[in-house]
Amino acid sequence: MKEYERLAKKITFSLGDVTAITGNESTSTSLISRWLKKNYVVRIRKDLYTCIDLTTGDVIANKYQIATAINDSSFVAYHTAFELYGMANQVYNIVYVSSNKRFNTFEFEGITYKFVKSGFDDGVVEIRNTEGIKVTDVERTYIDSVNFLSKIAGVEELINITESIERLNKEKLIKYLELYDKKVLYQKVGYFLENYYVGEKLGDNFFEMCKTKSGNSVRYLLGGREGRYNDRWKLVIPEEYILIKDGHGEPDDFI
């Protein structure tokens, strides 16, 4: 059991990790098969395992650690990152994982692990005092989520999260916006933060930058959804998300 005791200290492991202990791949394969039959370990997906806590019967790795262990570039992102930070209003049985390497969606313990391609590597951090978790920082999580609203469960959830954030680093927001380099993203980020963010002030210059970078085109907050036109941000806002209070006046016209 000495091999198992050494592996039990790891959150997740692969055949290669066992072979590094035994020195023999065939022996390692046999050991894993034996442990699986005895319910000492459980297979998460191809060549990824975690040990079982023999006192409780629970798997050792949590969903965030599993997401990080899928491959050497994977990290927690989108709504799942907000869940990890304690900012999400809802918890889902889908874990969004970004990575430079594509993997097939899989399910483990009732949780679906879904690949979302990462546009860049900046803004990925390791959680302090928690082993084996990489996640996008709050600012990148926010920009990513506005860019792909379907990954944050829609406008209402994003609004609730925006209202709950106490502090955003303006320089980081600008950096990630520049990396995406999308006019519509400047437009939407400016709209959401100006109207719903009540944390530490970002300053007028930030919003004017977003407005300038967004250009002059009229766009929809949600693709193709009709609503009222917000003149300041040149966005068509679905009726159910029209602000009751709006420092820039009511959206102008139905479209």
Residues 179 and 119 placed together within one structural domain of the fold? yes
Q: What is the pLDDT of residues 70-80, one digit of tens each?
A: 999 999 999 99
Q: At 86, list the tokens.
A: 């304690």
Tell me which residue range forms the domain holding 151.
Answer: 63-217
The tens digit of pLDDT for each residue in 211-236 reads 999 999 999 998 878 899 999 999 99
In this prediction the pTM is 0.90
Torsion of CA 153, 128, 118, 170, to 10 degrees: 80
CATH number of the domain that residue 29 is part of: 1.10.10
User: Do both 79 and 182 map to the same domain?
Assistant: yes
Same domain as 70, residue 27: no
- Rounded mean pLDDT, 83-89: 94
Is residue 237 situated within a structural domain?
A: no
255 in any annotated domain: no
**If DSSP codes are grouped into helix, strand and coil, which group holds residue 193?**
helix
Rounded mean pLDDT of the chain? 91
Looking at the 3D structure of the chain, how many domains does it have? 2
Evaluate whether residue 202 is within a structural domain: yes
Q: Residue 136, Cβ neighbours under 10 Å: how many? A: 28
Q: Over the stretch 90-140, which tens digit does the pLDDT of each residue have?
A: 888 999 999 999 999 999 999 999 999 888 999 999 988 778 899 999 999
pLDDT tens digits for range 34-73: 999 999 999 999 999 999 988 898 999 999 999 999 999 9
Q: Are residues 120 and 180 in the same domain?
A: yes
Alpha-carbon torsion (129, 163, 123, 70), positive or negative: positive
